[in-house]
Homo-oligomer: A and B are copies of this chain.
Amino acid sequence: MEIAVLAYDGMTALDAVGPAQVLALMPGARLRWVAEQPGPQRTDCGMAITAAHALDDVRTPEIVLVPGALDVRGPANSPALQAWLRAAHATTAWTTSVCTGALILGAAGLLQGLRATTHWAAMDALKKTGAEPVHERVVREGKIVTAAGVASGIDMALTLVALIAGRDVAESVQLGIEYDPQPPFDAGSPRKARPEIAEAARRVLTTRRP
């Protein structure tokens, strides 16, 4: 099963690597990291991720995974990337995004009229793409699966593995990566965070987002 993971300069590393690590453990999975310009793509974690493949090297992947970034204008406004995304989506089994990766799917017109999710601070931007924003961790609409912010990509990928390979395989992957989350605090969503923390985070994210 060929899985195309989109990479681009400025991407949020965990958006891509969380679900990639899960999918890589699915028997038969073959991950291909693709980029408009193959080679190293800067991330927001102080390192680059090297995508070995050009977009045209992987034209008919069974899964497409689109990670987000603080600023997605590059991939959202690239005619070549958007054309690849639309063409790949025509034949995928699953088209997926994490975080503001949904805005890139949206820019390609793939979310028009569909329920979808994204990072909690990007819901308004998602709405502008024609999607119907939903405050859920993982949203499935036919073959399109969108995940909320950054860390939610792991939950999304486990859901996907269960849909593709069954629950036993998904649980075995979960055990393999010891995904038994025990966050020291319970502040991972705006509904759970203390108001002053949420307000400060919203301010920072709004400042840094275009």
Contact = CB atoms under 8 A, between A and B. Distances in A.
Given A21-B14, A45-B21, A150-B21, A158 B185 contact: yes
Given A33-B46, A47-B50, A197 B183 contact: no
B183 A179 contact: yes
B178 A152 contact: yes
Given A21-B44, A120-B178, A171-B193, 12 more contacts: A12-B21, A40-B50, A151-B154, A155-B184, A167-B185, A170-B185, A172-B187, A174-B188, A175-B189, A175-B201, A178-B188, A178-B189
Contacts of A184: 138, 155, 158-159, 162, 170
Interface stretch (A24-32, A79-87, A106-114, A126-134): A24-32
Question: Main secondary structure on chain A at its contact with chain B?
Answer: mixed
B181 A197 contact: no
Given A30-B46, A50-B40, A189 B180 contact: yes
B172 A192 contact: no
20 contacts: A5-B47, A13-B17, A13-B20, A20-B45, A47-B52, A48-B50, A119-B178, A151-B180, A152-B182, A168-B197, A170-B184, A172-B193, A172-B204, A174-B188, A175-B189, A175-B197, A176-B201, A178-B189, A180-B188, A181-B188
A177 interface: yes
A49 B48 contact: yes
Contacts of A32: 46
A176 B208 CA distance: 12
Nearest to A155: B182
A164 interface: no
Contacts of A171: 185, 187, 193-194, 197
Nearest to A25: B44
Contact of A47 (B7, B158, B159, B201): B7
Nearest to A198: B175
A24 B48 contact: no
A32 to B, nearest CB: 7
